[in-house]
Structure 1
Amino acid sequence: MNRNIFIKNSLLAGAALVAGEANPLAAQRLPRKKEKAFNMKFSPEFGIFKEVVGKDLVEQIKWGYDQGFRAWENTWLARRPVDEQERISKTVQQLGMEFGQFVGTMNFKEPTFASRDQAIRDHVLKEVRDSVEIAKRMNTKYIHNVLGMADPKLPWDFQMANAIELLKRCAAIYEPHGIVMVMETMNHKINHPGMFLHTIPQAYAMAKAVGSPSLKILFDFYHVQIQEGNIIPTLDYAWDEIGYMQIGDTPGRNEPASGEINFVNVLQHVYDKGYRGFMGMEHGISKPGKNGDLAALAAYRSVDPK
Structure 2
Amino acid sequence: MNRRKFIQKGALTGSLFTLGGSVLATELISKKTQFITGKHSFNLKYAPHDGMFKAHAGEDIIAQLEFMAAQGFTAFEDNEMRNRPMEEQNRIASKMEQLGMEMGVFVAHKIYWKEPNLASGKQEWRDEFLQYIKDAVEIAKRVNAKWMTVVPGHVDLRLDNDFQTANVVETLKRASDILEPHNLTMVLEPLNFRNHPGLFLNESPQAFQICKAVDSPSCKILFDIYHQQIQEGNLLPNMEACWDEIAYFQIGDNPGRNEPTTGEINYKNVFKYIYEKGYKGILGMEHGNSVSGKEGEQKVIDAYKKMDDFL
Tell me if structure 2 keeps the 8 A contact 1:255–1:299. Answer: yes
Partner Cα separation in structure 2 for residue 285 and residue 279 of structure 1: 16
| CA distance in 2: counterparts of 1:111 and 1:37, whole angstroms | 44
Deviation per residue, 1:110-168 (Å, 9 max, x gap): 11221121111111011010000000001111111111111111010000000000010
Q: In the aligned structure 1, how far is the partner of 2:112 from the partner of 2:285?
A: 22
Identity of aligned residues (%): 49
TM-score where L is the length of structure 2? 0.86
Aligned match of 1:223 in 223, 227, 240? 227
CA distance in 1, matches of 2:38, 2:70: 4
Letter in 2 for 1:295: K
Structure 1 unaligned regions, length at least 5: 1-31
The residue identity in structure 1 corresponding to 2:283 is M
Look up the match of 2:118.
113
**Which secondary structure state, in structure 2, belongs to the residue aligned with residue 102 of structure 1?**
coil
Secondary structure of 1:104's aligned partner: coil
- The alignment partner of 1:103 has SS state of coil
1:99 aligned to 2:107? Answer: no
Select the residue among 256, 275, 281 that pairs with 2:279: 275
Q: Specify the alignment match of 1:246 in structure 2.
A: 250
One-letter code of the match for 2:113?
A: F
Alignment of structure 1 residues 85-234 onto 2, 5 Å: 85-105=89-109, 106-188=111-193, 190-234=194-238
The Cα of 1:36 is off from its aligned counterpart by 2.4
Contact 1:180 1:216 in 2 (8 A): yes
CA–CA separation in structure 2 for the residues paired with 1:176 and 1:246: 26
- Cα distance in 2 for partners of 1:232, 1:124 equals 32
Cα pair 1:114 1:159 within 8 Å, conserved: yes
Q: Aligned partners of 1:281 and 1:136: how far apart in 2?
A: 23
**CA offset at residue 33 of structure 1?**
3.6
CA distance in 2: counterparts of 1:43 and 1:126, whole angstroms: 28
- Determine if contact 1:148/1:195 at 8 Å carries over to the other structure: yes
Q: Is 2:63 the counterpart of 1:59?
A: yes
Q: Deviations over 1:246-291 (max 9, x none)?
A: 0000101000011000001111011011112100000001112211
* Matched residue type, 1:52: H
Contact between 1:37 and 1:70, CA under 8 Å: does it hold in 2?
A: no
RMSD after superposition: 1.1
In structure 2, stretches of 5+ residues that fail to align are 1-35
Q: Deviations over 1:8-67 (max 9, x none)?
A: xxxxxxxxxxxxxxxxxxxxxxxx944122111000110011122211100100100000
Give every structure 1 segment of 4 or more consecutive aligned residues whose post-TM-superposition deviation is greater than 3 Å: none
Letter in 1 for 2:119: A
Q: Which moved more, 1:35-44 or 1:178-187?
A: 35-44
Distance 2:38 2:129 in 1: 42
